[in-house]
Structure 1
Amino acid sequence: MKRLLICALLALAATGADAAETRCGWLQNPTPANWWLDDSEGTWTIMTQGGGNEPDGIENIPDISEGDYVRTNGNYGYACACMKVETDTDEERIIAIHSFRQLPISQCENDSALSAPE
């Protein structure tokens, strides 16, 4: 039994996937099917158009334009958000989204650890 547990843990470690964690920052959707999150640790790709890389739970992100939101390109733009996610740190990707909470823009604007969206 102990050997089986060790093998399972090693297999999980080999995927590069981390346990679920909360990440907060600028959620950006500048163009169709392009999403990323900029937090205090860097930029996390959620998905890219034509990339075939939609994470599990993408449906947990609602229409962000219904909350506090900055429109930058027609129906596209950015918001401030916290998400409970699983990441692949090697690829700097979000691979699963468990929950989503949109925050006031001012919360990200006032966070000195975050750079303003471009």
Structure 2
Amino acid sequence: MAGGSAIRGSRVGAGPMGEAERGDAAPRLIVSYFCAHGHETKPAFAADAQIPETWDCPRCGLPANCDALNPPPPPKIEPYKTHLAYVKERRSDQEAADILTEALTALRARRAAGEVIY
């Protein structure tokens, strides 16, 4: 047994598999997409496939379309909001103070009745 780096099942002089052994390739259509940063992407589609209107740029991740002069704008990214930020959108400061006063009154009443020890 020879200990080399030969690939099992291959022989010396064997070339790559050609089109004759695999059959003919399906007809392809290459479409150019352009993003807002000016990157051009050229994916290949089957000739009878439906071509998508937008494509994600593999370099920057922005959406791209086929119009080089008018690429789609970058999406607007909303900053992360905390739970408190959402609550402040729904309630005014006066409503929050009223709810807090009501909750404290109820808690003090329960403590006075002996329902809450701490």
TM-score norm. by structure 2 comes to: 0.20
Relative to its length, the structure with more helix (as a share) is 2
Relative contact order, higher structure (CA 8 A, sep 6+) = 1
Which is strand-richer, 1 or 2? Answer: 1
What's the TM-score once normalised by structure 1's chain length? 0.20
Larger radius of gyration: 2
